[in-house]
Structure 1
């Protein structure tokens, strides 16, 4: 599998952070992943220090005016990146006039021979359940669901499970993995959330944990990935273990 949609309907669970550092982990391991910011809030675009004009972003692709390959730009961290812009939110308001938007990404990736060629593709999804989110889900081989170690995030994961169940008639059952993020070992709430996730999702809960660490916020403030900012940190080790586990389960190949 090569296309991963990083998705959760609940905001604030660390979706963008996970996307950015998983991409950096892939780059550190000798590949050049394609990363698409499909969230109109454009947090990933801002994280990487970009302020593109709307016509330089994935919006152009959804308007039918440019292929994905034309919009991708190389980043210093070794990632090919397609940025986003607030104007992308217009796509989610055109659900009646442009229902084909939900299939556009899947068809575009295939037409440009980006899917199936072994190059990992990560999609930072919008938390809003509209054409953009469906577009990412229909294109994905795997849904990676970051879940923060708190009860509200646990409820969000249950809501997401119902959403994914509703998509089975269109694209079958999408493989998914749940990733516990912002985890504090030994903290009562974190351990209870971990226990409930394990009980509810079993083998779909990854063994990897992304621990709550200030160094991740500090890296974001500089626009650097964790391997450039703090290569010996526990955060760097967490993301390395995440990549190893995805590869071990044959969910990500490069």
Structure 2
């Protein structure tokens, strides 16, 4: 499996931070992942300090005016990145006229031989459930659901499960994994949420837990990933473990036979 949609309808769970650092962990292993900012709020794009017009963003792809490969830009970390723009929000408003946008990303990844190529593709999804979010979920090989270590986040995970269940009428069930984020070891709330998550989603909760650490927030503030900002930190270790677990469970493979060509 290669296409990972990082998705949760609840905000503030660390979705963007997880997408960015998982991509960085892959790049650290000598493989160029494709990271797509599919959120009109463009937090991931802003984190990298990128200011791009809508014509150079993923919105252009949804307009049918550009390929994904043409929009990808290399980052110093070794990640190929497709930026977002506020204009992407217009796609959800055009559902009546452009129903094909729901399948556009999946078809585009297939047409450009990106999905199934061994290329790791990570999509930082919008939390708004609409055409853009559905297009990412339909394109995904696995849905990675970050869950913050708090009771409201657990409730959100339950609601999300029902939403994803509704998608199964359109295509077969996409594997999903729940990732406990902002975890504080031995804290009563964190341990209770972890236990309840395992109870409700047996076999789908990752063993890796991303611990609450100042280094992660500081890295974001500097527009960096944790491996460049604090490579010996516990946070870097957590994301290395996350990548290892995904690989060991055959949810992600690292291939060096990638379609991006650099001149």
Shorter chain as denominator, the TM-score bin is over 0.9
Find the aligned partners of 1:213 and 1:51 in 2 and give their Cα distance.
28
Structure 2, unaligned stretches of length 5 or more? 255-263
Residue-pair matches, total: 254
- Per-residue CA distance 1:71-112 (angstroms, 9 max, x = gap): 000000100000001111000111111111100000000111
Match of 1:204 in 2: 204
Find the aligned partners of 1:32 and 1:8 in 2 and give their Cα distance.
25
Structure 1, unaligned stretches of length 5 or more? none
- Per-residue CA distance 1:118-150 (angstroms, 9 max, x = gap): 010000000000000000000000000000000
Shift of 1:224: 1.2
Find the aligned partners of 2:238 and 2:58 in 1 and give their Cα distance.
30
Find the aligned partners of 2:171 and 2:32 in 1 and give their Cα distance.
28
Find the aligned partners of 1:31 and 1:100 in 2 and give their Cα distance.
32
Match of 2:122 in 1: 122
Shift of 1:8: 0.3
Moved over 2 A (4+): none
Find the aligned partners of 2:239 and 2:171 in 1 and give their Cα distance.
29
Find the aligned partners of 1:213 and 1:83 in 2 and give their Cα distance.
27
Give the TM-score, by structure 2 length. 0.96
Find the aligned partners of 1:138 and 1:30 in 2 and give their Cα distance.
28
- Per-residue CA distance 1:25-57 (angstroms, 9 max, x = gap): 000011000011000000010111111111110
SS at match of 2:97: coil
SS at match of 1:202: coil
Shift of 1:170: 1.1
